[in-house]
Amino acid sequence: MPVKKGIKKVLVVGSGPIIIGQAAEFDYAGTQACRSLREEGLEVVLINSNPATIMTDANMADRIYIEPITPEFVTRIIEKEKPDGFLPSLGGQVGLNMALQLSELGVLEKYNVQLLGTPLDAIKRAEDRELFKSTMQRINEPVPESVIVCSVEEAVVFAKQIGFPLVVRPAYTLGGTGGGMVYNMDELVSTCTKGLKASIIHQALIERSLVGWKEIEFEVMRDSANNCITICSMENIDSMGVHTGDSVVVAPAQTLSDREYQMLRTAALKIIRALGVEGGCNVQYALDPNSYAYYVIEVNPRVSRSSALASKATGYPIAKVASKIAIGLNLDEIKNAVTGKTYACFEPSIDYTVIKFPRWPFDKFAMADRSLGTQMKATGEVMSIDRTLEGALLKAIRSLEIGVPGLIYPGLAELSQEEIEQKLTQPSDERLFVLAEALRRGMLFDHVFNLTKIDRFFIQKIYNVVQLENHLHRGCRTSLSAELLRKAKEMGMADAYLAQAVGIAANEVRALRKGYGIEPVYKMVDTCAAEFEAVTPYYYSCYDTEDEAKPTNNRKVVVVGGGPIRIGQGIEFDYCSVHSVWALKEMGYEAIIINNNPETVSTDFDTADRLYFEPLLPEDVINILEKEKPAGVIVQFGGQTPINLAEHIDKAGFNILGSSLDSIDRAEDRERFDDLVSRLDIPRPPGGTAFSLVHAEEIAGNIGFPVLVRPSYVLGGRAMEIVDNIDDLRNYMATAVKLTPEHPVLVDKYFLGEEIEVDAIADGETVLIPGIMKHVERAGVHSGDSIAVYPAYHLDRTVQEQIVDYTTKLALELDVRGMINIQYVLYNGQIYVIEVNPRASRTVPYMSKVTGIPMINLATKIIMGQKLKDLGYQGGLYPEGKLVGVKAPVFSFAKLLQVDISLGPEMKSTGEVLGVDASYPVALYKALLGSGVVFQRQGNILVTVADKDKEEMLPIIKGFSSLGYNIFATTGTACYLEKHGVTVTRVNKVREGSPDIADLLRQGDIHLVINTLTRGKAPERDGFVIRRAAVELAVPCLTSLDTARAILEVLGDIKEGPDFPLVPLQEYGTGY
Amino acid sequence: MKAFLALEDGTLFTGRSFGATGEQWGEVVFNTGMTGYQEILTDPSYCGQIVVMTYPLIGNYGINRDDFEAKKSFIKGFVVKEACGHPSNWRAGYRIGDFLAREGVPGISGVDTRALTRHLRSYGTMRGVIATGAVDTAQLVEKAKTCPYLSGQKLVADVAVKESYTIEGQGPRVILIDLGSKQNIIRKLKERDCAVIVVPPDITPGQIDQLAPDGVLISNGPGDPVDVPVTISTTRFIIGKYPLFGICLGNQVMALALGAKTYKMKFGHRGANHPVKDLRTGRVYITSHNHGFSVDEESLKGLDIEISHINLNDNTVEGIRHKHLPLFAVQYHPEASPGPQESDYIFDKFMDMMRGEGQ
């Protein structure tokens, strides 16, 4: 069947900013979709508010709109572009919601736009709880029994029908409190009573509990001719109860006999047919570990995180095929890209095991609740492949970059038996390590199973590793015999892990291993278990015998990717890695990429000439380098991960291309950096390096408070704080950092000035500055959490010239070849340099798009020896365009309980959006809208600010008041405002009596909260309670007066029902 | 204990012994199924073969009471990357190693099964010898070179029933000519309440007439189809007389009886992921396969036979149908076990055919 009639132009919707639960996988899916549609000769129009994506690159679609993904904006794009078809199912939940909303509004009908892919009623059947239930009942597929109750009596009636255990989930509670598992009537009555009280709408869901059941997933595809295939089965190592996004997952399913497997496969086919999905879909089951009983838990009628994983795990390009199905092709008409010969209508067979391990942000959020349950908390994930399950698991663990080379986790050996048992019962990010510790202590499998409900099969696998650990003796190098070492390597144990167990250096293990001739081989991921010859250059390592990845004689360059998405190292670095690979290919090099993130475009098998899906640790990377012998390695595009590898790569005798190791060190080493800036006569905030508390106090005493303190070598502002006094400094030194001679603490003067950021490209002679960005929030808010504006507004010409001058000097002095990012603070008319990173930064995709300069392409060419002049660029500041680009951060606070949302020097955002317009307020409006801020034209604003901020607050609140907003404030703030002539409604602080602030928020009476915090980690409970209540009730909460001022500006400038021009990316350069 | 697999072209794989000890020769083939090893081990069609599993972790869910396709295992040897010594599944009764030991099947683990599979894919199925303990490997290669080919071995006689037996049922009377039938074919007929009379391969047309069946099913089985001439000639006699249905070897036997030819494939189809297109409906089914021979498409030209199913991977014939007479057959395994269950409808078609419908 050919492409559907009348379809020539298709609108694809992306998923918007990265948040927990909706991450880079949709860039991968969207990119595949755009390519796949264009392959069929269709014109593609794209909307996505996220500039850090490959899919929003000019060459990905014919027209790209980086605009807020709201029904209004999408409608306007439909009006303007008049597409024939609308493809929502590659844009995650955002895409599906858009399809539902646009159809309800009648937009699709009005403009005669055909919904492509899964039909609307199928989406509803899967998404609507009741419809889903009735559809499943019709085809005799069991769903867990549940009921929504408003009284304890109703719950009791239900329990009498169904039995126990049950789960009580109160609707809309703060902090997710009030629910839980119940095993008998008494517990039900007590939990339900509490839960209903906690629920804002006095409602609770009572559901059959399936805790302890196996969680199994199937990825299924169906075309419009009703052909169905399953791509992959997956088994969660954590049993039911932990969100699949937070579970360690293995593919294929390991503990199912063919009979059980086929039972669930058959059901999956039945379900996808009953729903009528056209494209990809994910079916989740709970399977009784003791019988054939199962329940259908959830169906996602779209491409999901699991499909990205299934795609990378099998090599089957699900998103690409789903897009082709959406435009009318059938599975048996779509060529299999892996073999190049057969068709997409087959089921992958794999001959390895795959592990997906979630990457949680708990290293950044020390206060966060680490327990895992039904709310996903991971920001990203890693995947690993090996011929053994132990190997895949251990590779995954070290890919997380949490400083743990294996199953030995710091602090666990000191735990008491009771603590171990307690930690086994409660799923958390540490549980697998605790399990290993329990086995090390001799805990019986049955007991481990009873506490964790993790299948004995997986317990055994972990035990195999622990048992091998037992053969290694501390300080006894001879315990590492050739035989044992080979066995350990087959199980995926890193040299560093063995070194840790034996108590010697990792390079000693490496030498020993090489001496024994134990080297990894590389095998291909080919979807067919070697049955057919495949053309996918997609490899993984293992300690088996045959090596399939024969190196070529081409001139090749290795690009080291960024690993898992985490706060501080997001999708931007995948964008950079992919662009570098493309530039290398353009130059005729063989581009090799090493990465381990299954959600990304960089790990698509057709991005680079060769893909190695491997941990980004010295051992694993150097093994590949030794095999490939590349001309060099590029480390400046994958964020801090490859930078951390640079020294190892250099020591192993490989060439770091671009800025040298020495340049990196001069920028990162405090002493050397101080020398550098003083030589160049560039001012920087005074400060010093402290090796002890006394030393830190001395430095602070000299420069005066407030000071910014942080450990040396940081990523994304980890453990960085602004401290106002000596007590806070002592407290910080005692709790936040571990001082060692190798890891001193940096103490710097903190200037509350304007923050300015620059990305530049340098070739040793010329320094090109694509643009200067200014942050809306002043210094003290991490640059990743600030709203950034390009071109920098209200910036003095002399200041601008000074920035260009400093940037040029720094780049030349550091002999930067490629990218450099510099942050400045403007304080009392003086520019200070605060940070220099000789690598690509998170603003590169944003700046590349807004300025139209292909920054990574140029940087890569320079790295390979070309000059800016020859590439047609001059030095200095690139002329500003007519458009303003505003980048706004996006947070995932609603998913992370106990995390304080106030902005500070530690980065907290997970994603970003871009707003573009000729005017600054409109660009800012678009950015804020895209980031999820809902602008109420009228309503109530709650203000409660620290004393130090009151003066600054006044004009802002006056402004809001004059726009007609009602101001609510707590006593202190209210007094101040009233004194200055602002009409205020006073509200009670928490515990001052009802109704207090929390009550008002709960009642939905407040539409915006402005709250600044009294600095320091002192309890400051009220503020915390207010901020958490706001975030959980989805009321916008501003913790920086700068952001509040910006919003006031937007609200004041933007008139009712404005008709903003829509600017496609392709027209940014022309000033439209 | 060490174990070895020597191939006739001199390639040698070394691993660890599990299951039975000793030495066995056979044709070395690979199966790409990720589950279903118990069914594979007891599928009589593997008689005379050494089976390599491409999925590296085998034995995870143990051996249970229910998933047998025959009372015993007929395979000559079993080759895996890793044999699970600690299975975990609610039905697991035994470890795979213990089962193989009991059945006298030598197993070898620790083999780079992907390398072995790539070898077989490139050079085709070949003979091999599996041996455990201290052996002269050069001699093993020699044995692999001189051991009998699969064709000509008359393996059907080793696996088929010697005496007829009947399974009662209220529905149509089906004669199952047993060339090494999987139990699930019988289960599928029982599910449809058929009375099944399982008969040996050397049943005569006269004996069939005496049993007055409503239909005849020729089962799967091991080896080269030309090695069952008696069944082929019997089939020739009953074509058109009774509704006829063939599975796998049964399909080949029917094709030969109708005057077509079969040929040995380079490395065959063994797995649970093969796409087969039903040419009448255009629908594609993912199917279970186990065959090293195939019906020659060219040889069907001029006969009153149409191709009903083809394999989408290599376009080989996967099903035939007589243009006028009640006869059809499939090369793959609609009874699944192991593998996808979606071709169950093929048995319904047989039921329809016996009722005089569908053709």
- The CATH number covering residue A167 comes to 3.30.1490.20
Cβ <8 Å between A529 and B121: no
**How many whole angstroms separate alpha carbon A962 and alpha carbon A973?**
18
Query: Residue A30 maps to which CATH number?
Result: 3.40.50.20
Which structure tokens are listed for A462?
Answer: 């972990």
* Number of domains present in the structure of chain A: 7
A782-802 average pLDDT score = 93
Q: Which of A228, A256, A290, A347 to mutate to test the interface with B (most CBs of B within 10 A)?
A: A347
B191 is catalytic: no
Average of per-residue pLDDT across A345-360: 97
Q: What is the value of pTM for the model shown?
A: 0.96
Query: Given an 8 Å threshold on Cβ–Cβ distance, is A254 in contact with B57?
Result: yes
Amino acid A669: pLDDT: 84
Q: Could you tell me the CA-to-CA distances from A958 to A938, A954, A976, A980 in Å, in that order?
A: 15, 6, 12, 9
Question: Which of B13, B96, B273, B337 to mutate against chain A (most A CBs within 10 Å)?
Answer: B273
Indicate whether B198 belongs to any domain. Answer: yes
Same structural domain, A856 and A732: no
Look at residue A195 in the predicted model and tell me its pLDDT. 87
Q: pLDDT, tens digit, for every residue of A277-330?
A: 999 999 999 999 999 999 999 999 999 999 999 999 999 999 999 999 999 999
Domain that holds residue B88: 2-146
Q: Is residue A232 domain-shared with residue A306, that is, in the same domain?
A: yes
Check whether A1017 has a pLDDT greater than 50: no
* pLDDT at residue A178 tops 80: no
Tokens found for residue A888: 């706004």
What residues of B are in contact with residue A225 (Cβ under 8 Å)? 282-283
Of A116-120, A204-208, B4-8, highest mean pLDDT? B4-8
> Is A1039 within 8 Å of A185 (Cβ atoms)?
no
Q: How many domains does chain B have?
A: 2
- CB distance from A540 to chain B under 8 Å? no
Q: What is the pLDDT of residues B299-339, one digit of tens each?
A: 999 999 999 999 999 999 999 999 999 999 999 999 999 99
Nearest CB to A255; choose among B67, B88, B282 = B88
Does residue B102 share a domain with residue B201? no
* A270 part of a folded domain: yes
- Residue B225, pLDDT above cutoff 50: yes
Query: Contact A934/A1036 with Cβ under 8 angstroms?
Result: yes
Asked if B114 and B259 sit in the same domain, the reply is no
Q: Does A483 touch chain B (CB under 8 A)?
A: no
In a domain, A644, yes or no: no
Residue A66 lies in a domain: yes
Same domain flag for A55 and A102? yes
Which CATH number fits the domain that encloses residue A231? 3.30.470.20
Say what the pLDDT of residue A1031 is: 87
CA–CA dist A930, A65 (Å, integer):
12
A546 to B112: CB separation less than 8 angstroms, yes or no = yes
Q: Which of helix, strand or coil describes residue A19?
A: strand
Cα gap A126→A122, rounded to integer Å = 6
Instruction: Please say whether the beta carbons of B50 and B19 come within 8 A.
Output: no
CA of B337 to nearest chain A CA: how many angstroms apart?
7
Same domain, A812 and A801: yes
User: Among all residues of chain A, which has the CA nearest to that of B64?
Assistant: A257
A 205-244: CB under 8 A from B:
225-227, 229-230
Assigned token pair, A960: 């809001």
Which of B30, B89, B276, B343 to probe the A interface (max A CBs under 10 A)?
A: B89
B248 is catalytic: yes
d(CA B274, CA B266): 16
Whether pLDDT at A543 is above 50: yes
CA A511 – CA A496 distance, rounded (Å): 12
Residue numbers in B near A254 (CB within 8 A): 57, 60
Q: Give the active site residue among B8, B119, B248, B291.
A: B248
Apex CA A9: angle with CA A70 and CA A340, to 5°? 110
DSSP conformation letters of A678-709: HHHT-----EEEESSHHHHHHHHHHH-SSEEE
Q: Provide CB contacts within 8 A for A38, sequence distance 6+.
A: A44, A61, A62
CATH number for the domain including B101? Answer: 3.50.30.20
Clarify whether residues B120 and B164 are in a common domain.
Answer: no
Same structural domain for residues A859 and A954?
no
- The C-alpha atoms of residue A362 and residue A370 are separated, in whole angstroms, by 7
Least Cα separation, residue A325 to chain B (angstroms): 15
Residue B151 inside a domain? The answer is: no
Interface of A with B in 271-290 (CB under 8 A): 289-290
Asked whether the bond before A252 is cis by omega within 30 degrees of 0, the reply is yes
Mean pLDDT confidence for A541-559: 97
Distance from CA of A547 to the nearest CA of B (A): 9
Contact A812, A767 (CB under 8 A): yes
- Residue B359 belongs to some domain of the structure: no
Window A:377-416, CB contacts with B under 8 Å: 387-389
Q: Quick count: other Cβ atoms within 10 Å of Cβ A138?
A: 9
Residues B127 and B27 in one domain: yes
Regarding whether B181 and B44 lie in a shared domain, the answer is no
Confirm whether A852 is domain-assigned.
yes
Residues A200 and A226 in one domain: no
For residue A1019, what pLDDT is reported? Answer: 46
Residue with tokens 């339900």: A192
**Over 60: is that where the pLDDT of A67 sits?**
yes
Q: Test B121 with A331 for CB contact under 8 angstroms.
A: no
Report the residue from B66, B81, B275 with minimal CB separation from A346. B275
Same domain, B215 and B271: yes
Same domain? For A46 and A18 the reply is yes
Select from A265, A331, A548 the Cβ nearest to the Cβ of B340.
A265
* Domain containing residue A768: 751-881
Same domain for B99 and B200, yes or no, is no
CA distance A834 to A719: 17
Please say which residue of A155, A178, A208 terminates a domain. A208
Specify whether B181 is located in the same domain as B128: no
Where is the domain boundary, B146, B165, B184? B146
Contacts of A226 in chain B (CB under 8 A): 283
Q: Contacts of residue A349 in chain B, CB cutoff 8 Å?
A: 32-34, 54-55, 271-273
The rounded distance, in Å, linking the Cα atoms of A220 and A217 is 10
Q: For residue B276, is it within any domain?
A: yes
Looking at the fold, whether A54 and A85 belong to one and the same domain comes out as yes
> Catalytic: which of B8, B27, B69, B335?
B335
Residues forming a β-bridge with A11 = A45, A86
Domain end (from B117, B146, B175): B146
- Summarize the confidence of residues A811-822 as an average pLDDT: 97
Q: How far is B158 from chain A (nearest CA, A)?
A: 27
Residue A483 maps to a domain = yes
Q: How confident is the model at residue A1071 (pLDDT cuts 50, 70, 90)?
A: very low
Classify residue B248: in a domain, yes or no: yes
**B316 plus B342 within the same structural domain:** yes
Nearest CA in chain B to A532: B121
CA neighbor of B185 nearest in space, from B343, B3, B293, B5: B343
Count CB atoms within 10 A of the CB of residue A430: 18
Quick count: other Cβ atoms within 10 Å of Cβ A770? 24
Give the 3-state secondary structure of A493-557.
CCHHHHHHHHCCCHHHHHHHHHHCCCCCEEEECCCECCCCCCCCCEEEEECCCCCCCCCCCCCEE
Inter-chain touch A530–B112, beta carbons under 8 Å: no
Q: Answer whether B341 sits within 8 Å of A266, measured CB to CB.
A: yes
Given a cut of 50, whether residue A1 has pLDDT beyond it is no
A1057: pLDDT confidence band, cut at 50, 70 and 90? low
Tell me: do B125 and B231 sit in the same domain: no
Do both B51 and B134 map to the same domain? yes
Task: Kindly state the helix (H) or strand (E) to which residue A968 belongs, with its residue range.
Answer: strand A966-969
Quick one: A954 and A819 in the same domain? no
Contact residues, chain B, for A387 at CB < 8 Å: 56, 81-82, 114
- Arithmetic mean of pLDDT over chain A: 92
Residues 287-316 of A with CB under 8 A from B: 289-291
Question: How far does chain A reach from its first CA to its final CA, in angstroms?
Answer: 40
User: From the CA of A30, how many Å to the nearest CA of chain B?
Assistant: 27
Mean pLDDT, residues A227-249 = 95
Subunit contact B54:A266, Cβ cutoff 8 A: no
With 60 as the cut, is the pLDDT of residue A1070 above it? no
Cα separation, A327 vs A44, whole angstroms:
12
Q: What is the ipTM of this complex?
A: 0.98
Name chain B contacts of A346, Cβ cutoff 8 Å: 273-275, 286, 312-313
| Chain A nearest C-alpha distance from B340 (Å) | 6
Interface test with B, best of A224, A231, A235, A257 (most B CBs within 10 A): A257
CA A1003 to each of CA A201, A736, A1007, A1033: distance values in angstroms, whole numbers, following the listed order: 10, 38, 11, 10
* Shared domain check, A740 and A787: no
**Dihedral angle computed from the Cα positions of residues A684, A690, A695 and A700, in that order, rounded to the nearest 10 degrees:** 30
Tens-digit pLDDT profile for residues B259-297: 999 999 999 999 999 999 999 999 999 999 999 999 999
Query: Per the CB < 8 Å rule, is A388 touching B82?
Result: yes
And the tokens for A840?
């690509």
* Domain C-terminal end among B123, B146, B169: B146
Determine the pLDDT at residue A212. Answer: 92
pLDDT of residue A993: 79
Which one-letter amino acid corresponds to residue B219? S
In a domain, B251, yes or no: yes
Position A366 pLDDT exceeds 80:
no
Question: Which residues of chain B does A342 touch, with a Cβ-Cβ cutoff of 8 Å?
Answer: 312-313
Q: Are residues A777 and A875 in the same domain?
A: yes
Same domain, B252 and B303: yes
Q: What is the pLDDT of residue B125?
A: 97
Annotated active-site residue B335? The verdict is yes
In a domain, A1071, yes or no: no
Residue (of A800, A891, A790) closest to A848 by Cα position:
A790
For residue A276, being part of any structural domain is answered with yes
- Cβ–Cβ gap B275/A265 under 8 Å: no
Q: Is residue A1015 located within the same domain as residue A929?
A: yes
Considering the domain boundaries, does residue A858 fall inside one?
yes
Report the gap between the CA of A1000 and the closest CA in chain B (Å). 54
- Give A262's contacts in chain B (Cβ within 8 Å): 336, 338-341
- Two tokens, residue A527: 């979807």
